[in-house]
Amino acid sequence: MSARIPSTGRRPPSVLGKRSRDLLVFLRDHTIVALVLLLCIFVFGIELIRPGTVTPTWLSNSLQFAAPLGILAAGQTLVMLTGGIDLSVASVATGAAYLLTTNVSLGGFAAVLIALAFGVIVGALNGIGVALLQVQPLVMTLGTGLMSGGVMIVYSQKMLASQARVPGFIQALGSGKLWGVAPLDLFLWVPLAALLIFGLSRTGFGRLLYAIGDNRLACHLTGIRVWRILLVNYILCSVVAAVGGLVLVGSTNAADLGLADVYLLPSVAAVIIGGTSIFGGRGGYGGSIVGAVILTVLTSLLTLLDVPEPIKQILYGAIILVLAAAYARLTG
Amino acid sequence: MRTSSKLLYASLFTILLSVAGAYSARAADKYVVGVSNTLIGNGWREEMICSIKAQALASGVVSKVIVANRNAGPAEQISDLRNLISAGVNVIVLNPSDREALNPVIKQAAARGIVVVAVDQAVSAPEAYVLSNDQVDYGKAGAEWLFKHLNGKGNVVEMRGIDGVPADADRHKGFTEALANYPNIKVVAMPFTGWALNKSAQQAKDLLASGKQIDGIWTSGLDAVVVDAIQTSGKPLMPVIGADNNGFVGQLITLKDKGFAGAAVTNPPSVGGAGLAVALDVLQKKGDHPKVIKITPEVWDNTSDVGLATLKRNYDPKLDPYYSMDYTVAPYTTYTKDQLLACKGP
Amino acid sequence: MVRNDPSEKGATGFLPSGGARVASMRWAGRYLPVIGMPLLLAVALLFTTWIHPSFGAFDIQSLALGALPLAFAAAAQTCVVISGGIDLSVGSLIAVANVLAASTMQHADFRQALLLAAGILIAGAISGAINGAIVVLSRIPDVVVTLTTGFIWGGVALLIMEKPGGGAPQQFLDLAAGTTLAPWLPNAVILLIAAVAVVWIPLKLGRAGLLVYAVGSDRVAAFRSGVGVETTRILAYTLSGLFSAMGGLALTMTTAIGAPLAGVYYTLSGLAALVIGGVSLTGGRGGISGPVLAAFVLTLIPTDLIFLNIDPNYGQVIQGTLIVLVVMLGGFVTVLRNRK
């Protein structure tokens, strides 16, 4: 990505009173608060439109639906922190799900391994291109996304008469609830999130990701093996995407070639709204989590509005733009 | 881009295709069959293609089957049909994505002596043969059963396919005709599933979680996934109309004791093979066929003894849940069940 | 475009040494970028004729009709990428233009259809300008903006036409059909060359083109030299919208219907054509002929696969693999050069 034109100062306009300016500065420095506030506004909006919708069941359903997106956004966050992007996450997720359901005959555990291995392979390919050969992440992941999508299509032709099933434990993971209340996929998502947040802020690897995103050349000059870190990072992203695909297929109980396609734009949007800059070096997974939940709630909100499907699509896109623009303005 | 890499890439491209070219078959004196399908990853469509291949093999007069099979709309299908014409096929079996849009290409194909058969859905081109399930009847028969089972009163959901394709329009027509006889039945939702499993599952889940009162669900063939959604939602098992897909048939049998009532309306994908058989007859000038051949669907329900017996007879737990149990279309198809499952052409 | 930029020449490892090397490098640098892509297309066509000897006028026409919208998509993408950005909404704009044309022209006569076409071109340019304005004013990265506006325009297309349908007067359709000048030169190709040249040549020869390249190659330097960076970027997006509208009209001409979901293919494939056509994604370099010719090569792939009786779904695998191989090769060469 080319350099930005230097922008003028970061202070909020003086036309606002001191209290508002302080509030804006507070929100900017603690963007998570702003995001959670926004989430509450949306939930409140849902309650207004159809009173009685926001119940504990609805909340647990929403979190359950948000998990696959949240997991995909996790991988996307890792990659965006280094100034890249991964447009192949949807294909990887779909591919992993498809591989899982068609290899169940080898045993559930082996099928999961095969699905994750797919993520490793695609991630490695991405990593080699971006890290070693310095290809632009956008194009590289675009190509690998098309490749993996195409491979899956061809593979699907060969697999038809055999039995494609979702193993019981995956189904439970994706659509089950503990005691009918706590979604089981949260038991995967929450530890993953904790691991990621801890890893990004406390480990050397995490700090290096920020460093590379901030100034790759400086990292290189200080002797850091940038290529190794990026390679591992892209592999991590794709493996996480594969996990997301498994959770997704658990919730739909059927693998489809377009399974995760609708999650590509939201995975990028969730990360951007959550505060990670696409140029790298800034942000974190916490924001992406809230971003993912916001987008899921937004989808429910639009469903409740009972407007024709195209209008929903337009509104969804427009709101994402507004949120991203507001975020860009807020942080300068 | 570096020029040397451009040349490298040019040779790569040529080598790639040359290697592939080594595998292309050359045969004469027999017919070449072209197939055009526009929905992939869908068990029904794949079985349709398998039935075409099996019939090609069983007929003994086909040298090769060229399949253009990709997710496509009418614009892309026109392109695929043109490519098939260029490839020199004698027969085109297609599952049309639009009733009218393909007419110009079909006309061009017919002008070259190619026999064109549209299966599963109808086209309006006068040159083409049409062999399909009576889709209007499909919609009507299933809906009638459902409304009668609900004693003429209740809220139903109509889960449709892809907006604009002939089969969806026809089924909706049949559904609406049945609806006219039952004024106390209300349609509370009419989502388009796109005949995609995950979309269908998501829509079913959303509807069940929405709090609307739903008494029955009519589906356009994506049935097992809806029943799964009902089960995971924790709601009582309401009646569901589906197609003769293996998974749904299994559910009708096994969940009957839990109070699940439903019916499978037949929609054989083997219309593909049947269409090919008709086309080959026309090519070889053997026998007369009407331009439009419609197959009447049957209703296999699990609430009557006859229906339940048919369901049990046709169920095969070893096959894919969306594999249709209606293997043959008599008297047209001549292949065996094993040939169909092997899915190999000549 | 010819430049004496040493980076335009091939990797040094492939050429002879000494004075001969300099001379041949200069020759290569001057001519190969120009003939590289046409050479590739010629190779592809030769190969197609080899595997299918009856490749004739009908087939060339099929190729041209199939490649026409993609060529416009590639042209649209080129305008934006040269200015240093990217446009992931090209396909959706093509779909909007397509359904708009097919729905309004359905009961029109030829003259009205032409007027409507002109209107749609203007609408396309305006949509592109809106894209550009959002990118420039909101300070959101162009990837995110165009990914989202692509989604929005897709919704607009569905709003105009919820399922495939519509039509256009036969004379309008005939504009792209058939061959008038020579049996091997379809009208579609003439239309393509004319439409692209009318927009691109004045741009390239004039100051606006220079500004677009400047902004693409070094935005900060351009800013400091007094170039109106923001207006130039909006101009690039406007051109993209214009070419996308042309692509949509071409789609209407070649398929005779409007399809709201037809655009999905063109965004990514347009980008593929761009990459294969030799335009660098960092901006500031490349011409329009490469991507347009690459569009023809890409369209030839499914055709060849059908002739070879290979599953045409391999086409997507091949397309993705091509992108990956091309960019990896390019990156490999860059790394090699930087290493010495």
Condensed to tens digits (0 to 9), the pLDDT of residues C261-286 reads 888 889 888 988 998 888 888 888 88
Q: Which residue has the higher pLDDT, C33 or B206?
A: B206
In chain C, what residues touch B40 (CB-CB under 8 Å)? 313
B228 min Cα distance to partner chain A (Å): 8
In chain A, what residues touch B343 (CB-CB under 8 Å)? 160-161
Confidence class of residue C27 from pLDDT cuts 50, 70 and 90?
Answer: low
* Listed residue (B275, B273, B88) closest to C309, CA to CA: B88
**Nearest C-alpha in C relative to B108:** C58
The mean predicted confidence, pLDDT, of chain B is 86
B260 min Cα distance to partner chain C (Å): 35
pLDDT at B277: 93
Q: Do C330 and B76 touch (CB under 8 A)?
A: no
Query: What is the mean predicted confidence (pLDDT) over B129-158?
Result: 93
Q: Which of these ranges, A157-161, A219-223, B317-321, C15-19, has the smallest mean pLDDT?
A: C15-19
Interface test with A, best of C139, C267, C298 (most A CBs within 10 A): C139
Residue C239 has pLDDT above 90, yes or no: yes
pLDDT, one tens digit per residue, over B222-264 is 888 899 888 877 788 999 999 988 889 999 999 988 889 999 9
Can you list the domains of chain B with their CATH numbers? 27-134+269-296+324-342 (3.40.50.2300), 135-265 (3.40.50.2300)
* Listed residue (B181, B190, B192) closest to B155, CA to CA: B190
Confidence class of residue B14 from pLDDT cuts 50, 70 and 90?
Answer: low
**Nearest C-alpha in A relative to C84:** A2
Residue B5 has pLDDT above 80, yes or no: no
The DSSP line for A295-321 is: HHHHHHHHHHTT--HHHHHHHHHHHHH
Residue B209 contacts A, CB cutoff 8 Å: yes
In chain A, what residues touch B211 (CB-CB under 8 Å)? 52-53
In chain B, what residues touch C302 (CB-CB under 8 Å)? 79-80, 83
Confidence class of residue A279 from pLDDT cuts 50, 70 and 90?
Answer: confident
A159 min Cα distance to partner chain C (Å): 15
Nearest-angstrom CA–CA distance, B161 and B95: 14
pLDDT at C3: 39
Residue C163 contacts A, CB cutoff 8 Å: no
Residue A6 has pLDDT above 50, yes or no: no
What is the CATH architecture assignment of A29-331?
Orthogonal Bundle (1.10)
**Nearest C-alpha in B relative to A150:** B70
Q: Do C329 and B5 touch (CB under 8 A)?
A: yes
| CB nearest to A151's CB, from C158, C281, C317 | C317
**Nearest C-alpha in B relative to A303:** B206
Helices (H) and strands (E) in chain B — how many of each? 12, 12
Q: Which of these ranges, A187-191, B39-43, B210-214, C112-116, has the smallest mean pLDDT?
A: B39-43
Residue C335 contacts A, CB cutoff 8 Å: yes
Q: Do C148 and A321 touch (CB under 8 A)?
A: yes
pLDDT at B27: 43
Residue A292 has pLDDT above 80, yes or no: yes
Interface test with A, best of B35, B198, B270 (most A CBs within 10 A): B198
Domain ranges for chain A:
29-331
**Nearest C-alpha in C relative to A85:** C143
B282 min Cα distance to partner chain A (Å): 30
Q: Which of these ranges, B77-81, B193-197, B304-308, C202-206, has the smallest mean pLDDT?
A: B193-197
Percent of chain B whose predicted confidence (pLDDT) is above 70: 91
Residue count of chain C: 340
Q: Do B75 and C28 touch (CB under 8 A)?
A: no
Written in H, E and C, the secondary structure of chain C is: CCCCCHHHCCCHHHCCCHHHHHHHHHHHHHHHHHHHHHHHHHHHHHHHHHHCCCCCHHHHHHHHHHHHHHHHHHHHHHHHHHCCCCCCCHHHHHHHHHHHHHHHCCCCCHHHHHHHHHHHHHHHHHHHHHHHHHHHHHCCCHHHHHHHHHHHHHHHHHHHCCCCECCCCHHHHHCCCCCCCECCECHHHHHHHHHHHHHHHHHHHCHHHHHHHHHHHCHHHHHHCCCCHHHHHHHHHHHHHHHHHHHHHHHHHHHCCECCCCCHHHHHHHHHHHHHCCCCCCCCCCCCHHHHHHHHHHHHHHHHHHHCCCCCCHHHHHHHHHHHHHHHHHHHHHHHHHHC
Q: Which of these ranges, A187-191, A247-251, C28-32, has the smallest mean pLDDT?
A: C28-32
Q: Do A160 and B43 touch (CB under 8 A)?
A: yes
The top-scoring range by mean pLDDT among A17-26, A47-56, A241-250 is A241-250
What are the two backbone dihedrals, phi and then psi, of residue A161, each rounded to the nearest 5 degrees?
A: -75, -10
C134 min Cα distance to partner chain B (Å): 30
Residue count of chain B: 346
C133 min Cα distance to partner chain B (Å): 30
- Name the pTM for this structure: 0.84
In chain A, what residues touch B196 (CB-CB under 8 Å)? 256, 258
pLDDT at A134: 86
Q: Do A254 and B323 touch (CB under 8 A)?
A: no
Residue B43 contacts A, CB cutoff 8 Å: yes
Q: Do C143 and A138 touch (CB under 8 A)?
A: yes
Q: Which residue has the higher pLDDT, C318 or C242?
A: C242
Question: Is residue C320 within 8 Å of residue A143, measured between CB atoms?
Answer: yes
Residue B18 has pLDDT above 60, yes or no: no
Question: Is residue B193 within 8 Å of residue B218, measured between CB atoms?
Answer: no
Interface test with B, best of C43, C308, C337 (most B CBs within 10 A): C308
pLDDT at C233: 94
B245 min Cα distance to partner chain A (Å): 13
pLDDT, one tens digit per residue, over B90-115 is 999 999 998 888 998 999 999 999 99
Residue B317 sits at the vertex; the CA angle it makes with B316 and B320, to the nearest 5 degrees, is 90
Burial grade of B112 (CB within 10 A; 0-12, 13-18, 19 or more): exposed
Fold held by C38-339 = ABC transporter involved in vitamin B12 uptake, BtuC (1.10.3470)
pLDDT at C44: 87
A264 min Cα distance to partner chain B (Å): 15
Scan residues 227-256 of B and list those with Cβ closer than 8 Å to A: 228-229, 232, 234
Q: Do B6 and C278 touch (CB under 8 A)?
A: yes
Query: What is the mean predicted confidence (pLDDT) over C183-202?
Result: 89
Confidence class of residue A170 from pLDDT cuts 50, 70 and 90?
Answer: confident
pLDDT at B100: 86
pLDDT at C8: 37
User: According to DSSP H, which parts of chain A are helical?
Assistant: 18-29, 31-49, 56-81, 89-102, 108-127, 137-158, 168-175, 186-202, 204-214, 216-221, 226-252, 264-273, 285-304, 309-331
pLDDT at C69: 94
In chain A, what residues touch C309 (CB-CB under 8 Å)? none
Nearest-angstrom CA–CA distance, C37 and C33: 7
C230 min Cα distance to partner chain A (Å): 10
Confidence class of residue B158 from pLDDT cuts 50, 70 and 90?
Answer: very high
| Cα distance from N-terminal residue to C-terminal residue, chain A | 18
pLDDT, one tens digit per residue, over A32-90 is 888 898 899 988 888 888 787 788 888 888 888 899 999 999 999 999 999 999 999 99
User: According to DSSP H, which parts of chain B are helical?
Assistant: 3-21, 43-59, 74-86, 103-111, 135-149, 166-180, 197-209, 224-233, 246-254, 271-283, 305-314, 337-342
The top-scoring range by mean pLDDT among A3-12, A65-74, A169-178, A295-304 is A65-74
Percent of chain C whose predicted confidence (pLDDT) is above 70: 90
Q: Do C164 and B73 touch (CB under 8 A)?
A: yes
| CB nearest to C335's CB, from A134, A317, A321 | A134
| CB nearest to B198's CB, from A53, A160, A259 | A259
Scan residues 284-343 of B and list those with Cβ closer than 8 Å to A: 318-321, 323, 341, 343
Q: Residue B300, SS3?
A: strand
A85 min Cα distance to partner chain B (Å): 22
| CB nearest to B9's CB, from C14, C59, C329 | C329
Q: Do C147 and A268 touch (CB under 8 A)?
A: yes
In chain B, what residues touch C43 (CB-CB under 8 Å)? 10, 13-14
**Nearest C-alpha in A relative to C324:** A143
Residue A269 contacts C, CB cutoff 8 Å: yes
**Nearest C-alpha in B relative to A105:** B318
* Listed residue (C66, C78, C81) closest to C296, CA to CA: C66
Q: Do A278 and C321 touch (CB under 8 A)?
A: no
| CB nearest to C327's CB, from A140, A308, A325 | A140
Residues C208-237 as b or e (16 or more Cβ within 10 Å = b): bbebbbbbbbbbeebbeeebebbebbbbbb
Give Cβ neighbours of residue B341 (< 8 Å, ≥ 6 apart).
A161, B50, B319
Confidence class of residue C18 from pLDDT cuts 50, 70 and 90?
Answer: low
Residue A331 contacts C, CB cutoff 8 Å: no
Write the DSSP symbol of residue A130. I
